[in-house]
A and B are shown apart, each in its own frame.
Chain A
Amino acid sequence: MAARRQSFGKDTGLQARMLLTLFLLGLLYAVFVGVLFAAGAGASLIVVVAVVLLLVQLFGSDKLAMAAMGVKEVSPEEEPELHGIIDRLCVQADLPKPKVCVIETSVPNACAMGRSQKSASVTATRGILEMLSPAELEGVMAHELSHVINRDVMVMTLASFFASLASMIAQFALFFGGGYGSDEEERDIMLVILVSVVVYVVSFVLLRTLSRYREFAADRGSAVLTGRPSALASALIKISGAIERAPSQDLRRVEGSSAFFIIPPRAKKSLMNLFADHPPLEQRLAALERLESQLQGGLSTANA
């Protein structure tokens, strides 16, 4: 069969960077687990506790977060427009329809939650529904559905498992640390604490990097799904402008699960891009612009 023409080229660079980040995380975690086992008994208890926490996080955290943020599921009768957009995107993406929710706040934002495609939900704030045109809203919802398709909640939760474990050990040690056992045991414990702190710091940076890559992937997924990269770009410009102007009190209320918002609800500009969980707006717009020119130029330029 002849090669199928595609509207968008491949983004090999992004995929390679994402795999490299995952590889580094895996390596780091492998070393960490090695040290834990070498240190012996106490560590295995912590692992058990951490696994329980992980399960709670996977199966309960979305409900907790949703309750805390005042998320309300809406029926097609209540929000026909939003449901209509999501219905069509689900047909296009061949995805079972997620729960559709709304937060009654004027801050424009959207997020996706749920560990699997079956239990997924997408949420829009009242502000975003009022602010965006249908095409822009479609772009944003396609971005959130891409998070669902890519199983981002699952990937990020699993990827941060050992990071939370390391931070638990470090904190545990700060409260109860030292002062018992022989010199040798104490040295082992100090080593574990030290390694935990290092693992936590390094994995924090890696996880934030991974999160930014997932955002790029979801932007790209949205463009592929709707065929309108520029509509999403226009939506991002509108939302980020509004978020910078929005009062900070509302922003604090919706803090919490910012990793899955389309734009993180934080007003202050940070120079420390290394620690940001979303890429800077300029980079996202540039990526979307590249997609739009691939679309306009057809395959010939995309593969060049």
Chain B
Amino acid sequence: MGLRDILTGRHQVKGPAPDRLFAITTAYVDLQAEHQIDPSGSAAIVFQALATSEFESTIKDMEEVVAATGGDNGTTVKTEDDSYGYRWMILRSRDGAPSVEDLAVGINAVSSSIETAGFGERLLCAVFGFVDAQKRRVYFIYNYKRGYWYPFVPAPGDAQERSTERELQLKAQIGSEMPLEPELERWFPLWGITI
């Protein structure tokens, strides 16, 4: 942000950073083989849904495209709005055959069509669900603005607490495998994940 922007109080919302979404497709192999963390078969992309007819029709078209391409590999698509007013487009692999590659391709299809339509700055994050050996949920969140990943492990129970210890373990375990967010204070939690 330049001096002139500061003086005039002007700022633009950042568009997506160079895409490193597909880092998950190599990292998950390691997660599964070395650390017994299996993909849950679900992933989601979170964005601000603009209440304009143009945006709605973009989303509708995109949903159809993803559903059509998903038809080949059994991926299903579901759309939900959360209590914060953000839209979740949730992709699910066919039962029993979770495929992180297919999910990443699907998520990428959604994000690139949002970008192509000119709404790239509305993308918030993508979430990939995993389950560890103790059947606890582990999420990997991709921040579109920064192009970095970070783990998010909610503590068991309904309280909004996270297991920072587990997250830091994961950082040590696969930090070299994928581009992790270097600033810990930007590991923003994402509560109410339904995948």
Contact = CB atoms under 8 A, between A and B. Distances in A.
**Interaction A to B:** yes
Nearest to B186: A96
Interface in B81-121: 83-86, 117-121
Secondary structure dominating the interface of B:
loop
Contact of B8 (A7, A18, A138): A18
Contacts of A80: 160, 191
Given A4-B15, A217-B9, A87 B188 contact: yes
Contacts of A18: 7-9
B154 to A, nearest CB: 12
Interface stretch (B30-38, B45-53, B60-68, B171-179): B45-53
B124 A88 contact: yes
Interface in B144-195: 145-146, 159-161, 183, 185-186, 188-191
B114 to A, nearest CB: 12
Secondary structure dominating the interface of A:
helix
B6 interface: yes
Nearest to B191: A84
A150 interface: yes
Given A91-B124, A134-B85, A218 B52 contact: no
A150 B12 contact: no
B183 to A, nearest CB: 7
A7 B50 contact: yes
A264 interface: no
B9 A134 contact: no
Interface of A: 4-7, 11, 14-15, 18-19, 22, 76-77, 80, 84-85, 87-88, 90-94, 96-97, 134-135, 138, 146, 149-152, 155, 213-214, 217-218, 221, 224-228, 295-296, 298-299
